[in-house]
Structure 1
C-alpha cells in the first residue's frame, strides 16, 4: 500500500498546499501568471521550454474506471466499471492538475448528494490504480489524499493532519495568511510535520 499525494483546498476552491511521495517524474510547473508561491517546493519556470522539460506522469493521465464511491455510512452509491475518458491529460501543468482534482471532488460530492440525499457525504472513491480520500472541515478546507487503491479509508489520517499540524503550524501561526488569494501555506514546520506523519504510517509504502 502506498500514499501518493496530498492536496489542501481553501474555501475559494484554490489549492493552497501540495506534497507528494512515490512519484516517478517531477511535477510540471504551472505557467508563470498562475504560479502561487508556498503551495509546493517547486520553483517557477524560467521559460516555457523549461516547463516542458519537467513533465511528470499524473495520476489522472491514464484511463481510470471508477469502481466504488464511499459515503460516510459506508454505502456504495456507485459500483461496477465505467469507461473513463481521461486521455490527453499527459503533462498537465500543476495548476491545471489541481483544478482537475478539485473538479473530480466537486462532481462526486454533487453526485452523492443527488443519489443518496443531503444526509450523505462523499468521502472517497476508488479506481483500478488509485483511491481518493476526502476530509472537509467546518471552515471550508478540503483535504484530499491520493493513495494505492487497496488502502482502507484514510479520512482519519486527514483529520489527524488537520487537528494536529494544520492547527498548530497554520491556524495558530500569525505569519500565515489563511484567506490569502495570492500565496499558499509556506511553512517549513507544517511541511516537515506532514511528511513525518505520513512516513510514520504503516501504509506509507516504500
Structure 2
C-alpha cells in the first residue's frame, strides 16, 4: 500500500496544493501523453517540470470533473463520485461543503480513503490553513497553500496511515 500524490483544488478549479510522495517500487501515478512540445535542451529543466506538473493537475481535475458529471447524469443528483481504479493506480475524491476538492492517488489495492481525506481536511487543512491569520481567504493568481504546519502535519499523517503493518 502506498500513496503517490495528493492534490487540493479550490472552488475556482485552481490547484492550490499538490504533493508527490516518495516513489516506491509500485507503478507511478498517471502521466499525460508522451511526446509533443520542445524536446531539446532549449528549455530549462525547472520550466519543463513546472509545465509537466501543471499539465498533470489539469488532467486530474478534468478527470474528476468529467466523472462527477457522468455519475450525476447516470445516477441522479444524489449520487456521488468517490473513486476509480485502474491497473496502475486508484484515485480517491472528497469534496467539502465549500467546494474544496481533495484528490489522492494511491496504489490500486488501497481501500476507500474517503474518511482519510475528510480527516486531512478537518484536522489539518481547517486547523492550519483556514484558521491561520496569515493565510489568504482565497488562493487566486496561482498562490497556493504555503504553510509549514500543514506540510509537516500532512507528512506525519500520511506516514501514520500508510505505515507498513508488521
TM-score range, shorter chain: 0.7 to 0.9
CA shift, 1:117, in A, is 1.0
1:102-123 deviation line (CA, Å, top 9, x unaligned):
0000010011011111110001
CA shift, 1:174, in A, is 1.3
Aligned match for 1:174, one of 123, 126, 133: 133
* 1:193 paired to 2:153: yes
Distance 1:180-1:129 versus aligned 2 partners, 3 A rule: same
Aligned length: 148
Structure 2: how far apart are the matches of 1:145 and 1:204? 16
Runs of 4+ residues over 6 Å off in structure 1? none
Partner of 1:51: 46
3-state SS, counterpart of residue 140 of structure 2: coil
Unaligned runs of at least 5 residues, structure 2: 29-41
| Aligned partners of 2:84 and 2:92 also within 8 Å | yes
1:89-145 deviation line (CA, Å, top 9, x unaligned):
xxx611111011000000100110111111100010000010000010000100000
3-state SS, counterpart of residue 143 of structure 1: strand
RMSD: 2.2
| Aligned partners of 2:92 and 2:112 also within 8 Å | yes
In terms of fraction of residues, the more helix-rich structure is: 2
| Aligned partners of 1:8 and 1:16 also within 8 Å | yes
CA shift, 1:50, in A, is 2.3
Structure 1: how far apart are the matches of 2:54 and 2:48? 17
Aligned match for 1:142, one of 88, 92, 101: 101
| Aligned partners of 1:3 and 1:205 also within 8 Å | no
Partner of 1:30: none
Structure 1: how far apart are the matches of 2:92 and 2:137? 23
Q: TM-score, normalised by structure 2?
A: 0.82
| Aligned partners of 2:139 and 2:145 also within 8 Å | no
Question: Mapping of 1:1-206 within 5 angstroms?
Answer: 1-23=1-23, 48-51=43-46, 93-182=52-141, 183-201=143-161, 203-204=162-163
